Homo-oligomer: A and B are copies of this chain.
Amino acid sequence: MSSFFPVSLENLIDKLASLPGIGQKSAQRLAFYILSLDEASANAFADAIVQAKKSVSTCAVCQNLTDKEICPICSDPRRDEKTICVVSDPKDVIAIERGREYTGLYHVLHGVISPMNHVSPDDLKIKELVARVAEGEIEEVIMATNPDTEGETTARYISRLLKPFGTKVTRLAYGIPVGSNLEFADDATLMRALEGRREF
Residues of A participating in the B interface, judged by any CB pair closer than 8 Å: 1-2, 4-9, 11-12, 14-15, 19-22, 26, 28-35, 37, 39, 42-56, 65-68, 72-73, 89-91, 93-94, 97-98
Contact = CB atoms under 8 A, between A and B. Distances in A.
A144 B184 CA distance: 49
The binding surface of chain A is classed by DSSP as helix
A99 to B, nearest CB: 12
Interface centre among A12, A28, A51 (most CB of B within 10 A): A12
A35 B15 CA distance: 14
Contacts of A73: 4
Contacts of A5: 65, 90, 94
Nearest to A7: B67
Given A15-B45, A20-B29, A30-B20, A52 B90 contact: no
Contacts of A53: 34-35, 37, 39, 42-43
Interface centre among A21, A30, A53 (most CB of B within 10 A): A53
Contacts of A35: 52-53, 56, 65
Copies per complex? 2
A154 B1 CA distance: 28
A2 B94 contact: yes
A30 B119 CA distance: 20
Nearest to A98: B1
A22 B30 CA distance: 9
23 contacts: A2-B94, A4-B72, A4-B93, A4-B94, A5-B65, A6-B55, A6-B67, A8-B48, A8-B51, A8-B54, A8-B67, A9-B67, A12-B49, A12-B52, A19-B30, A20-B33, A22-B30, A32-B89, A32-B90, A34-B49, A42-B49, A43-B49, A43-B53
